[in-house]
Amino acid sequence: MSGDKETEIWTKTSKILDGQVPDILFIERCLQLLDNHGRMAIVLPDGDLTNQSTEYIREFIKQKARLLAVVSLPPETFIPHGTGVKASVLFLQKLPEEELEKLKKKDYPIFMAICEKIGYDVRGRTLYKKDEKGELIKDENGEKLIDSDIPEIIEGFDDFKRKYDFGF
């Protein structure tokens, strides 16, 4: 793809690239495998979503799918068993070209959330909820509650889907 900075329009070219970052190939393949109106969640490095040099990735996604939600993950999400790359989860819905064209002409709601607590620390140790005195909070069965934002984010997304009647 090549982009015109003045018109902000990206177009497909016939130029064969010497190489491509795996991220874009993975996104492309995942979208190919989806049926129209199919949905997917994909974890992407935040650089793909924010760097000026990766604008073509964002444009490619916009040309192929509706962005439903973005959930930013804390840096320790993939530590200690992976890298410390900051990432987000994108929730996408593949739409037919004519539906995507209609979307481009109007603003539409996108759910956004920031997960600050993943339930474990950078060493992989489970973190539990504590009260203002520093004592562990337990559920009705006496089990310690894991300190995570994920249940609240899921609830928020469910409310968002009901509010905007996404039909799923």
Flag whether 63 is in a domain: yes
Predicted confidence band at 52 (pLDDT cuts at 50, 70, 90)? confident
Q: Is 132 helix (H, G, I), strand (E, B) or coil?
A: coil
Mean pLDDT of 136-149: 95
Flag whether 159 is in a domain: no
Flag whether 66 is in a domain: yes
Flag whether 40 is in a domain: yes
Q: Which residue spans within 73-160 are E strands per DSSP?
A: 87-94, 111-114
Q: Which domain range does residue 63 map to?
A: 2-118
Measured CA to CA, the distance from residue 35 to residue 95 in angstroms comes to: 8
Flag whether 96 is in a domain: yes
Mean pLDDT of 139-168: 91
Only one residue has tokens 């929730």, namely 91
Q: Does residue 148 surpass a pLDDT of 70?
A: yes
pLDDT digits (tens, 9 = 90+) for 83-122: 778 899 999 999 998 988 888 888 899 999 999 999 998 8
C-alpha 40, offset from chain centre: 10
Whether residue 80 is preceded by a cis peptide bond, meaning omega within 30 degrees of 0, is yes
Q: Does residue 78 surpass a pLDDT of 90?
A: no
Mean pLDDT of 56-75: 91
Dihedral of CA 66/71/76/79: which sign?
negative
Q: What is the CATH number of the domain that holds 44?
A: 3.40.50.150
Flag whether 99 is in a domain: yes
Lowest mean pLDDT, pick from 14-18, 84-88, 94-98, 124-128: 14-18
Domain count, the chain: 1
Task: Record the pTM.
Answer: 0.80
Flag whether 146 is in a domain: no
Integer-rounded Cα Rg, in Å, for the chain is 19
pLDDT of residue 9: 60
Pairing between β-strand 65-72 and β-strand 111-114 as defined by DSSP bridges: parallel
Q: Does residue 63 surpass a pLDDT of 80?
A: yes
Flag whether 126 is in a domain: no
pLDDT of residue 128: 96
Q: Which residue has the higher pLDDT, 142 or 53?
A: 142
